[in-house]
Amino acid sequence: MLRRTGTVLTSYQRVAIWKSPQSCEFRVAGAIHAWWHAWNLLTGLAWDNLAAAALLRPAGPPKSVLMLGLAGGTAMRTLRHLLPDCRFVAVDIDAEIVELAKEHMHLGNLGIEIHIADAYQWCATCTERFDVVIDDIYLAGKEDVFRPDGADGGQLAILKRLLKPGGLVLANLVNGAGHRAVQMRTRAAFRAAFPMVRSVTTPASMNETLAGGDAVLARSALNPWAESFPQPADRELWKLLRVRILPAVRAR
């Protein structure tokens, strides 16, 4: 049983810490912002979508991943389990939530190169290239989280520039009430920017992950990864993932 053990007001958000002997959640603006469990890796929520989408690169599993918006590192923990030799780089503007994750969610054990910075500004000056770039940037409002201005289109060209040939850009999108307009704008931006875009979802999540690239693998590519999870609960959640292709933008 989770119980609230404290609340930390960082420079960017109010983080409520909920814990049990084997798990921890960070809750921000009424939503679970990060999650950790002593032996389970999957949640049935947005982090599963992100981890799965990172594996849809036709050239094979990524050898380098850039994560924008690290928070507690929930998706990265799953990816570290699946990709033990992958190089992980992450950028987050909130140094305090990163420290909380190291304290309560063992973030320091994942071997991530962490940069504390405004992620989009950091990307604008980055000269490295990555197999997968994940955009999971949400800011905390008074009642809900929101995407920063320009995240649905203005920054996409910069993120594409950070890709190695055959790479993928991923974006986490909330699709619940109040988020539909941003979701549709971001979908349109992805469809205009990439020859192929797929959407990765789970039944229990009010999120989708868009995966854009020259090509993006279908759902069948995820099947072999199910046996990588030692816990039966994780294997069952992996089977619930859904991947569908978004129609290309029609030429005028």
Convert the pLDDT of each residue in 118-149 to its tens digit.
999 999 999 999 999 999 986 544 434 445 55
In this predicted structure, the answer to whether residue 115 has a pLDDT above a threshold of 80 is yes
Residue 109 has pLDDT above 50, yes or no: yes
Confidence at 3, pLDDT banded by 50, 70, 90: very high
167-to-35, 81, 109 alpha-carbon distances in Å? 27, 21, 26
Averaged confidence pLDDT in the chain: 91
What percent of the chain has a predicted confidence (pLDDT) above 70?
Answer: 90
Domains of the chain: 40-245 (3.40.50.150)
Instruction: Indicate the pLDDT class of residue 247, thresholds 50, 70 and 90.
Output: confident
181: burial class by Cβ within 10 Å (0-12, 13-18, 19+)? Answer: exposed
- Cα–Cα distances in Å, from 4 out to 26, 27, 94, 129, 147? 10, 10, 21, 40, 27
Query: Average of pLDDT values for 180-189?
Result: 84
Question: Average pLDDT, stretch 108-122?
Answer: 96
233: pLDDT strictly greater than 50: yes
Of the pLDDT bands very low, low, confident and very high (cuts 50, 70, 90), residue 111 is: very high
What is the pLDDT averaged over residues 226-239? 98
The whole-number pLDDT of residue 143 equals: 38
For residue 235, the surrounding DSSP H or E stretch is helix 232-239
Rounded to whole angstroms, the Cα distance separating 22 from 200 reads 28
Identify the pLDDT of residue 181: 74
Radius of gyration of the chain (CA): 17
pLDDT tens string 69-100: 999 999 999 999 999 999 999 999 999 999 99
Selection from 149, 181, 186 nearest residue 170 by Cα: 186
